[in-house]
Chains A and B, each alone.
Chain A
């Protein structure tokens, strides 16, 4: 089983966001970067499936500047076999990036291509489904369950008010949600082994695509509210506010 995982380097989710001069991006000074949390589910799924199949190869692919190599090494330390760095500046247009990833994946003969449900920086929520469309492969997004056997996959995903299950033939593209598995951590042995695993660098140019960032801003805080009172005695005051002032009851 040949499995590819698309991996994005993102600021740690606990990062305080400071807007950079120019007002279009974040100030990266002092920001800790990590593997996108949803991509960790994809890595775990890839490793489990390969272990289950007893043979195969897992590959992580990241598009970005040279700093993504550090993130790729982390994936190798967790247990992925090889890494590919698509060296170039990601576009604000997710389709331009998906195209670069798809062009690389096309020749790779992968049985499975896994992405995260979303990247916690740009919240694009589109790369996986676009790769599938460009490669004309079956796709399910935001999956919380994945079973693969006999060249078929069955998946589950949460939808409003329920769960949807789906099946398709491999090769296929899935994007992974929380709940799919519990990602393992890199081991000391893994970290040593990662240094010797292959990491290929390929120059690419996604271009600008059809999206221009006009501005990035910190949202206005909600206007400060008020404490209407203490304990059950405050319920009438709250009701008064909800009925007459806010008019939501």
Chain B
């Protein structure tokens, strides 16, 4: 289906994760070319992987205001090149969710948020999205050009081996209405539950905020691939930051591995993690609802199970 534009996310002068996924999603619906737009303050090196991932062209737009997130400038740039594209894809991060609707309103196109599947067979552009906190799935058809905001983790990156030739696009004049400061990285480090390959979440079963250390140790055993999340009960109690909350009023995560520790599995928590590839639950109550969605469960005291698991993961990864 025609040509597709993907708008990639840049922070602190580097591409964010997820570019490959987004390009792979675009390839699924493109029968023409897939172009990847990068808006940055200076040129970014190491763009060859974008061609490998399936981008025919990499378009670079350079402007001093792009040193931090600059929605006004990005929207103006996208609008200036949008007309040939059947769809514009953005990743469903905090930034992408902010940007997508702005682009859509500027180019007078519908915006489909949190898309978990797209399809362009039969020339109609169709997309699937969770609604009602994931309690239902809506399938929609999008007329004309459309902005699609993809849920992270929905489509796996792939190797398509396209040219990925770079060309510059001109940033049109724009009014910067919002001035954004550089992101202040949180104390927990830069790995976010929404981006990590492995998420280990703790709930009220931990009994005390200091016991989050057990989960930090388990996360560390995964060697920088794991982030620690939390249920709302413990976020509200001040045991964990809101940024770590998984669920309906927190983040939606789709990691390869989700380990729920001392979490009962309330429907609002499930809304944020039920699309994880593999779910593990550790809970001393064999009837806890979390076991209904878990692929693997251990019934038992987390204070015994988690340290044993940490040791086992360390050992497995050492081999």
Contacts and interface: CB of A to CB of B under 8 A. Distances in A.
Interface of A: 11, 13-17, 19, 26, 37, 92-95, 98, 120-130, 132-134, 136-142, 144, 157-169, 172, 178-179, 209-219, 221-222, 224-232, 234-236, 238-239, 241-243, 246, 248-249
A122 to B, nearest CB: 6
Interface stretch (B23-31, B51-59, B299-307): B299-307
Give the residue among A127, A139, A211, A221 with the most B Cβ atoms within 10 A: A211
B183 A210 contact: no
Interface of B: 16, 69, 71, 75, 93-95, 97-98, 100-102, 104-106, 108-114, 126, 129-144, 146, 149, 177-181, 183-186, 188-192, 194-195, 198, 242-243, 248-250, 256-257, 267-268, 274, 277-280, 286, 291-301, 304-305, 307-309, 312-313, 316-317
Contacts of A227: 286, 291, 296-299
A97 B286 CA distance: 47
Contacts of B69: 164
B300 A231 contact: yes
Nearest to B95: A159
Contacts of A136: 177
Contacts of A134: 105
Contacts of A212: 140-141, 143
Contact of A166 (B102, B181, B190, B248): B181
B297 A228 contact: yes
Contact of A238 (B97, B134, B280, B317): B280
B114 A125 contact: yes
Given A13-B268, A124-B113, A165 B181 contact: yes
Nearest to B236: A178
A159 B113 contact: no
A51 to B, nearest CB: 25
A139 B102 contact: yes
28 contacts: A16-B135, A26-B132, A92-B140, A94-B110, A126-B104, A128-B101, A134-B105, A138-B177, A139-B102, A139-B177, A140-B178, A160-B192, A160-B195, A161-B190, A178-B242, A210-B110, A210-B142, A211-B112, A213-B140, A219-B134, A222-B279, A226-B296, A227-B286, A231-B300, A231-B305, A239-B312, A242-B296, A248-B257
Contacts of B112: 211
Contacts of A132: 102
B137 A230 contact: no
A231 B94 contact: no
Contact of B183 (A17, A163, A235): A163
Contacts of A14: 267
A82 B98 CA distance: 29
Contacts of B105: 95, 98, 129-130, 133-134
A179 B241 CA distance: 11
Contacts of B313: 239, 249
B101 A236 contact: no
Nearest to A129: B101
Contacts of A158: 94, 242-243
A89 B301 CA distance: 52
Contacts of B140: 92, 211-214
A120 B192 contact: no
A246 B304 contact: no
B278 A130 contact: no
B286 A218 contact: no
A222 B293 contact: yes
Contacts of B277: 246, 248
B256 A248 contact: yes
Contacts of A243: 316
